[in-house]
């Protein structure tokens, strides 16, 4: 080991890579980490964090509207897109600096460079034209938005990366995709006053979520004024003589917009990384294949996070990093646990979910009890807003274990985080029933739905 420059070299300074580098360096190991763009990676620079700041920005018009019912007169509001971008960029730069500082503070060495494998112990740092060697190597290069080369006019389209730096707020936008990134951006742009159309080839948005949430969100988004075209694709994108875009969708309709955003999936960053030189196996979409411990096909090379295409979420990348450090540096082989991951969609209204959807649970359990409540949250009473909140618990009828919880409405993401604990712990509906409500809250509904709304037997609803 002493013959190498580093005990660990990490390629990629995003959520997973930075965590692994920092924690390993804090163990007293010699650690180097290279980042080709900006420390913090997708989540901090052009993912979760700036997106959530945009979500907050886009919610204000509804807050202003709702204020009237509570006695407030809000003068005509105006919005400055450039001010939002400047303030967001300032915050992102602050976080970026903290990420790098934390690695250095733990004793790690940081490089602002693209890193490429030369062989299974050797890395080339391209910006410095320098070669370094390492005993263990961790690949945490993440992913990027998938392109759509088959779409005529795709060169006129933007991806999520560009959406964070548009010079001007468009008047109208078309977004292609039905996953959480497409749905969140549709709500962001609509909230900021942009005429928004979502084009999705599938039958319903947000394919892996509970159907009640998908239908409920779809309906509410349409009521707000977002146009959603399902079973539809964009067939071509033309630049018109006035500079605007004409997006021809299935059926021939031409949607006129200032921007067209593609959010059709993400692609692992594995090209030209020297994987062949080190003989690292990749899968069909270019993802790095790893075993249960995040080890690649090469003994001393590991991979975590989005580049492995397991579950593409920041807390998952961080968890995989912590398990990697346990396995590779603490003599405690630990496999990441990908079961029952609580998650949110920062749509408007928000989605919070954990565990199995009703459909998935119906395939695993013979009998289900479904507890479902749809109601107007108290905050919408005086405001007059007609939006309903939906809460749903999916319970295994035999053991009474709560196997899924699904919420649509204000603060659903915050609730999903807390519901993740009892559901991960395998608690039963009786435990929920024994829990005292917090009144008056929306969340109290989760512990006061005493009677099943309906039952499901062998996948069929029985009342
Ligand atoms: C718009 C958007 C919104 C999102 N919202 C959420 C959310 O709300 N919640 C959530 O949990 N997740 C969210 N995600 C997903 C989350 O950002 C990722 O799951 C997470 O960042 C993955 O971390 P990672 O370490 O695997 O990769 P990344 O964070 O992508 O980091 C990889 C880093 O490696 C660098 N790199 C690549 N190749 C090289 C090389 N050869 N040499 C040096 N450096 C290299 C890249 O520049 C990058 O900085 C969102 C993603 C997007 C795009």
In percent, the amount of the chain with pLDDT more than 90 equals 99
| Per-residue pLDDT reduced to its tens digit, 223-256 | 999 999 999 999 999 999 999 999 999 999 999 9
Q: What is the mean pLDDT of residues 32-44?
A: 98
pLDDT at residue 271, as a whole number: 97
Q: How confident is the model at residue 2 (pLDDT cuts 50, 70, 90)?
A: low
Task: Give the Cα separation of 164 and 43 in Å (integer).
Answer: 12
User: Is the C-beta atom of 157 inside 6 A of ligand 1?
Assistant: no
User: Is the C-beta atom of 110 inside 6 A of ligand 1?
Assistant: no
Q: Indicate whether 39 pLDDT > 70.
A: yes
**Contact call for residues 335 and 385 (beta carbons, < 8 A):** no
Q: What is the mean pLDDT of residues 51-66?
A: 98
| Per-residue pLDDT reduced to its tens digit, 3-25 | 999 999 999 999 999 999 999 99
Q: Indicate whether 1 pLDDT > 70.
A: no
**Alpha helices (H) along 175-313:** 180-191, 211-224
Q: Indicate whether 38 pLDDT > 80.
A: yes
- The owner of tokens 């990441």 is 336
pTM comes to 0.97
| Per-residue pLDDT reduced to its tens digit, 70-87 | 999 999 999 999 999 999
User: Is the C-beta atom of 269 inside 6 A of ligand 1?
Assistant: yes
**Residue 439 is a catalytic residue:** yes
- Interacting residues of 53 by C-beta distance below 8 A, sequence separation 6+: 84, 88, 91
Choose the residue to mutate in 141, 179, 206, 324 for probing ligand 1, maximizing ligand atoms within 8 Å of C-beta. Answer: 141
3-state secondary structure of 414: helix
Among 346, 305, 353, 357, CA closest to 180:
346
Q: How confident is the model at residue 463 (pLDDT cuts 50, 70, 90)?
A: confident
For 209, the token pair is 């979520």
Choose the residue to mutate in 11, 12, 53 for probing ligand 1, maximizing ligand atoms within 8 Å of C-beta. Answer: 12
User: Is the C-beta atom of 36 inside 6 A of ligand 1?
Assistant: yes
Q: Residue 370, Cβ neighbours under 10 Å: how many?
A: 21
pLDDT at residue 403, as a whole number: 98
Q: What is the mean pLDDT of residues 327-354?
A: 98
| Per-residue pLDDT reduced to its tens digit, 387-424 | 999 999 999 999 999 999 999 999 999 999 999 999 99
């Amino acid at each position: 080991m002493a013959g190498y420059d580093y005990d660990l070299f990490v390629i990629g300074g995003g959520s997973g890579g930075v965590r692994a580098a920092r924690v390993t360096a804090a163990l007293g190991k010699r650690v180097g980490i290279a980042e080709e763009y900006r420390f913090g990676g997708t989540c901090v620079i052009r993912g979760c964090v700036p997106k959530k700041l945009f979500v907050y920005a886009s919610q204000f018009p509804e807050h202003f509207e709702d204020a009237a019912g509570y006695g407030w007169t809000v003068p005509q509001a105006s919005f400055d897109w450039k001010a939002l971008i400047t303030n967001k960029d300032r915050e992102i730069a602050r976080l970026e600096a903290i990420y790098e500082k934390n690695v250095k503070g733990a004793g790690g060495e940081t490089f602002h460079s693209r890193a490429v494998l030369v062989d299974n112990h050797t890395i080339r740092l391209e910006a410095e034209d320098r070669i370094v060697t390492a005993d263990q190597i961790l690949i945490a290069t993440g992913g990027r938005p998938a392109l759509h080369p088959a779409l005529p006019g795709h060169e006129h389209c933007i991806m999520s990366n560009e959406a964070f730096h548009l010079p001007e707020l468009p008047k109208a936008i078309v977004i292609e995709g039905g996953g959480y990134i497409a749905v969140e951006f549709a709500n962001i742009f609509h909230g900021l006053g942009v005429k928004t159309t979502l084009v999705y080839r599938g039958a319903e948005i947000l394919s892996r979520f509970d159907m009640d949430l998908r239908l409920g969100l779809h309906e509410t988004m349409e009521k707000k004024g977002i146009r959603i075209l399902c079973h539809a694709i964009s067939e071509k994108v033309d630049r018109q003589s006035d500079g605007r875009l004409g997006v021809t969708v299935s059926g021939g309709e031409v949607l006129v917009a200032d921007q067209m955003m593609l959010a059709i999936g993400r692609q692992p960053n594995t090209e030209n990384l020297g994987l062949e030189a080190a003989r690292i196996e990749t899968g069909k979409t270019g993802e790095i294949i790893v075993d249960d411990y995040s080890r690649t096909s090469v003994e001393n090379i590991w991979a975590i996070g989005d580049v492995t295409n397991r579950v593409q979420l920041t807390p998952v990348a961080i968890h995989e990093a912590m398990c990697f450090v346990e396995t590779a540096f603490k003599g405690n082989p630990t496999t990441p646990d990908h079961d029952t991951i609580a998650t949110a969609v920062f749509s408007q209204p928000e989605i919070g979910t954990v565990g199995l959807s009703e459909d998935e649970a119906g395939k695993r359990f013979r009998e289900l009890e479904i507890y479902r409540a749809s109601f107007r949250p108290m905050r919408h009473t005086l405001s007059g807003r007609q939006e309903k909140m939906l809460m749903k618990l999916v319970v295994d009828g035999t053991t009474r274990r709560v196997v899924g919880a699904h919420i649509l409405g204000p603060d659903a993401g915050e609730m999903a985080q807390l519901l993740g604990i009892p559901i991960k712990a395998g608690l039963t509906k009786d435990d929920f029933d024994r829990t005292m409500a917090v009144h008056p809250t929306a969340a109290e509904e989760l512990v006061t739905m005493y009677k099943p709304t309906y039952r499901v037997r062998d996948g069929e609803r029985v009342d």
